Amino acid sequence: MYRKFALITGFSVGLGLAGSAVADEMADQVKAIPGGVEDVGIGGSWQDGDRSGAYRLVVTRSGGEKITARLFIQWLAYGDAGQATVADSIEIAELAELGVDIVNLHTEADDQGLSVFVDTMSDGGDLGETYEIHVFSPSDYMFGPASN
């Protein structure tokens, strides 16, 4: 009786291991996202001829006592079966050069592109400046202090 039980248990464990050995590609990709990536969100949709998709905003942070953020904007393109791929990606380098943290993002998308309003935090921990970014394409955007 003991031998039979051990055989059944060994078989069950073997099936359990084989089942978990099957890779879940999406889960593996999510596990691989660096810890510095702290905020990810969709900022609106875009269309270029017969291609369409969504703008994805990615905020990374680093630092100890002084936290600094970087902002990346990506163009997600949707295929015929609805799968999303990253068609393009840019960093807003001017924002990174300021060495500030991002505390809030507000986006507006229209047929001209994407507008992003970025609230920052000052070194003292108070609300800092607000900046605006107008993205027209992966190679064309404007960055500056908010005008309102």
In a domain, 11, yes or no: no
Give tens-digit pLDDT for 110-120.
999 999 999 99
In a domain, 32, yes or no: no
Query: Which residue range is the domain that position 72 belongs to?
Result: 38-145
In a domain, 85, yes or no: yes
Output the pLDDT for position 148. Answer: 67
How many domains are there within the chain?
1
In a domain, 8, yes or no: no
In a domain, 140, yes or no: yes
Give tens-digit pLDDT for 127-139.
889 999 999 999 9
C-alpha to C-alpha distance for 14 and 132, rounded to whole angstroms: 57
In a domain, 72, yes or no: yes
